[in-house]
A and B are shown apart, each in its own frame.
Chain A
Amino acid sequence: MNSLKNLFTPLISISNRTFSILAIINILIAGALWQVFATGGLIPTPAKIGESFFKIIGSASFFDNLFISITLTLKGMGYSIIIALLISYLSTIPFFNPLAKFIIKCRYLTLTGLIFLFTLLTSNGHDLKMSLLIFGIVPFFVTSFLSILDSINEQEYELCKTLRMNNWQTLWEVIIVGRLDQVFEVMRQNFAIAWMMITMVEGLSMSEGGLGTMLIKSNKYIDLGTVFSILIIIFSIGVCFDFLLKQLRIWFFPYTKLQIKK
């Protein structure tokens, strides 16, 4: 009785096992309610989505499209990380600081308004998608990473001074090596943005295919069972990558495990 009461009390810690059981119960309740209320309506029932899901998985083009989307996202993330880290590290040099500040403000630029400009600047659909992905990710990545750099304790820089490090050595020790684990965390957060954007940019140039193209085609024919199935696939892959990046961070930087609050 007491443990049941705990489930409805704020700021109570629960075990991983209890969390898993709660998650399954929540999913089952949501699924049951969905099945009851969606029957006979426009929204497909879980049973119908399940049916479409296996149909998509079984189709010949699915894995090609999935591969295209993942490759494009990873490639876009790779370029974005390199560009964003370069801008972030350079921001510690006064001459480049205004550039970093400007990039941060670019978060407020709408991509839709820039599609035409990027179409003119790029030579094919692939480059257009890539440039939009990079332009979408970099400002958010730089913003997150610079806020991490801003929160570095002043005493860490002072420690470097007392250890007779020059400014370049301090940059290396405190910002580059010292915050490499946090790059993985920012990467994890921004992968979600990239993955969310992928369906949008794939819709701009459908010649290469991808999950976004599949989604738009299904939407066009109001094939909502397929739409929901693709959404579930996109969601599941996103969650898997999120978990993978979290594990990679702990694997590469074991000390982060001591700092992460479960």
Chain B
Amino acid sequence: MYKKEEVILKVEKVNLTYDQPILRDVSFVVYNITRPNMLQGQVVSLVGRSGIGKTQLFKILAGLNKPNSGEVKIGSDLHPVVAGEVGVVPQNYILFNHRTILENLKIGANSSAAKLNDKAKLELINDYANKFGLKEHLKKYPMQLSGGQRQRVSIIQQILTGNRFILLDEPFSGLDPVIKDRVVELLISISTLDEQNTLVLVSHDIENAFAISDTAFILANQEHNFGSTITETIDLIEMGFCWDPEIKKNKDFQELVTQMKYRM
């Protein structure tokens, strides 16, 4: 049982051209999905091959870059996105290397719209650190952590800002299969922290992206047209592949993944 409520993210005919067209008429919407008696955020994937323009679209969605035409609107009032309204977790998990993990997280908490006192901020940070296995690393510097740990810090830093939309660029890139499974678990747990939490994964890893998404958008080139666009929308809830922790073992799911790999 689930319901697709109002639109909370709308991408309208986004075009981006540098020397040549990169993105062409990219349009898609993300709905607020609700399930009775549980917190259910949204996880959507933008899947495409390397070099297709995913990172450019990622920056436009975050409000960091402006498209040549088109618009990205977010929130229940669908206002144009502004940098700072969407959390960003880049592929290489950029953090402030001159600050400890605790200080990095404090910066996230300080930029939150909800004005908390220092004690409340610290409690919140400790709470997240406990939940995501970072408690013993709070006094360390980012360079002392592994890639997976830095990714968690980066995600928590963005959550602490109070942003409900979080973009993750290639969250599975360069990770071994065991860590990938942990990232999948982590993202699921973040999406269910709050009803409004919306994760947008930009990835070329079809299997893992599909395994945690409720909707996937395929970004690809079309014949006789320059620039990539959304060529397909896959409703993974309708297909019965959503919210199942064991979905990767499902034969039909694996068939879908194989088909998508072939088509891309």
Contacts and interface: CB of A to CB of B under 8 A. Distances in A.
B94 A258 contact: no
Interface of B: 59, 62-64, 83-84, 86-88, 90, 92, 94-98, 107-108, 111, 141, 143-144, 157-158, 161, 163
Interface string A174-196: 10011011000000000000000
Nearest to B160: A163
Contacts of B88: 158-159, 162
25 contacts: A155-B90, A155-B94, A156-B94, A158-B59, A158-B62, A159-B90, A159-B95, A161-B83, A162-B62, A162-B84, A163-B111, A163-B161, A164-B161, A173-B96, A173-B107, A174-B96, A178-B96, A178-B97, A180-B98, A181-B98, A253-B98, A255-B141, A258-B141, A258-B144, A259-B143
Contacts of A155: 90, 92, 94
B98 A259 contact: no
Interface of A: 153, 155-156, 158-159, 161-165, 173-174, 177-178, 180-181, 253-255, 258-259
A153 B157 CA distance: 19
B64 A163 contact: no
Given A162-B88, A164-B161, A259-B143, 9 more contacts: A156-B94, A158-B59, A158-B90, A158-B94, A161-B83, A161-B84, A162-B83, A163-B108, A180-B98
Contact of B64 (A153, A161, A173, A258): A161
A164 B84 contact: yes
A164 B86 CA distance: 10
A152 to B, nearest CB: 11
Nearest to A153: B94
A102 B225 CA distance: 47
Contacts of A174: 96
B94 A177 contact: no
CB-based closest 8 A-B pairs: A164-B84, A258-B143, A161-B83, A255-B141, A164-B111, A162-B88, A155-B94, A163-B111
A147 to B, nearest CB: 18
Contacts of B62: 158, 162
B33 to A, nearest CB: 24
B94 A163 contact: no
A162 B158 contact: yes
A251 B64 CA distance: 37
A178 B92 CA distance: 18
Contact of B94 (A159, A181, A254): A159
B113 to A, nearest CB: 8
A256 to B, nearest CB: 9
B4 to A, nearest CB: 28
A173 B86 CA distance: 20
B93 to A, nearest CB: 10
A64 B188 CA distance: 71
Contacts of A163: 84, 107-108, 111, 157, 161
Nearest to A158: B64
Contact of B97 (A158, A164, A165, A255): A255
